[in-house]
Amino acid sequence: MLRCGRSQSSEGVLLLHAQLLVQEGASEEAEGIFEGLLARNPANAQAWWLLARLRVHTRECNHIPEILSALRAVDGDPQRVALLARALHKEADDAGDVALAWNALELMCRAKSSVEGYSAPEERRLLRRLLDFPEEVVKPFADQDVVPVFIVGMHRSGTTLLEQMLAASPQLRALGELNDFPAALRFAADCHARDVVDVNVLDGLTGPAAGEIGAIYLNRVAWRLGGLRSSRTSSRAITGSSA
């Protein structure tokens, strides 16, 4: 097991190292780093969340008591509470403890809402703008060889399963959870968004810029198709709070 350094900066370096190992498929080595960090600093909320993500947990093998202990000791920082609650939700859900998983999810949402400045009127305004988005913008791309299919849903609501079911067809290529379409919106609007998409971006999609969205998106995902010229592609967009 890799031993942890003493400073906060070394903890950050080790967390980054472990995340890179996960990306390379070295999950067991990453798990050792996370466990070493937490043995030295059980209050490291980020490490608990990253550790919880590594595997499917069971009733017999989980970190639920330790995460609950870290939550009881937290100093009220909503970002740390959100990370710990999200880790607790993941492990409790894996272990089949529905009541605990639900309580943890509610705690995470309350913590995130306290720092994210959620505005119900602003969300309604965004929804109205999306519903009023001109249909002619997407129609010209309906007859392209590559037709995108978007799957949108909340976290852990079955979007991955639905994509895998659709991808069983040889006529569809699954591309996973992508940010290419929101990026295309921001590029066409020449505007930064504080979230996946916001009203400012939609307001900027006027005139010729709106007509470029489809082409920008298809160009961004073209390399993922591996030379496939005629197909339907699916990509997932997950909405909701993200710790």
The domain that contains 13 carries what CATH number?
1.25.40.10
| Same-domain pairing of 54 and 98 | yes
Domain assignment present for residue 167? The answer is: yes
Three-class SS state of 108: helix
What is the pLDDT confidence band of residue 140, given thresholds at 50, 70 and 90?
low
pTM of the entire predicted model: 0.59
Same domain assignment for residues 190 and 152: yes
- Residues in Cβ contact with 50 at an 8 Å cutoff, skipping those fewer than 6 apart: 15, 18, 19, 22, 30, 34
> Do 72 and 105 fall within a single domain?
yes
Task: Please tell me the predicted confidence (pLDDT) of residue 4.
Answer: 40
Output 192 or 45, whichever has higher pLDDT.
45
Inside any domain, residue 121: no
Q: Domain span at residue 190?
A: 134-239
Range scoring the smallest mean pLDDT among 10-14, 30-34, 85-89, 193-197: 193-197
Residue 229 located in a structural domain = yes
63 and 143 part of one domain: no
Instruction: Please say which residue of 116, 145, 162 terminates a domain.
Output: 116
Total domains, the chain: 2
- Rounded Cα gap, residues 5 and 49, in angstroms: 20
The radius of gyration computed from the CA coordinates of the chain, to the nearest angstrom, equals 21
Specify whether 14 is located in the same domain as 111: yes
Contact 220, 183 (CB under 8 A): yes
For residue 59, is pLDDT > 50?
A: yes
The string of pLDDT tens digits covering residues 160-181 is 899 999 989 888 888 888 888 8
Cβ-defined contacts of 74-78 (< 8 Å, 24+) = 74/43, 74/45, 78/111, 78/112, 78/114, 78/115
Please write the tens of the pLDDT for every residue from 177-227: 888 888 888 888 888 887 778 888 888 887 667 777 888 888 888 887 765
Spatial separation of the C-alpha atoms in residues 13 and 205, rounded to whole Å: 40
* Residue 150 backbone phi and psi in degrees, to 5: -105, 130
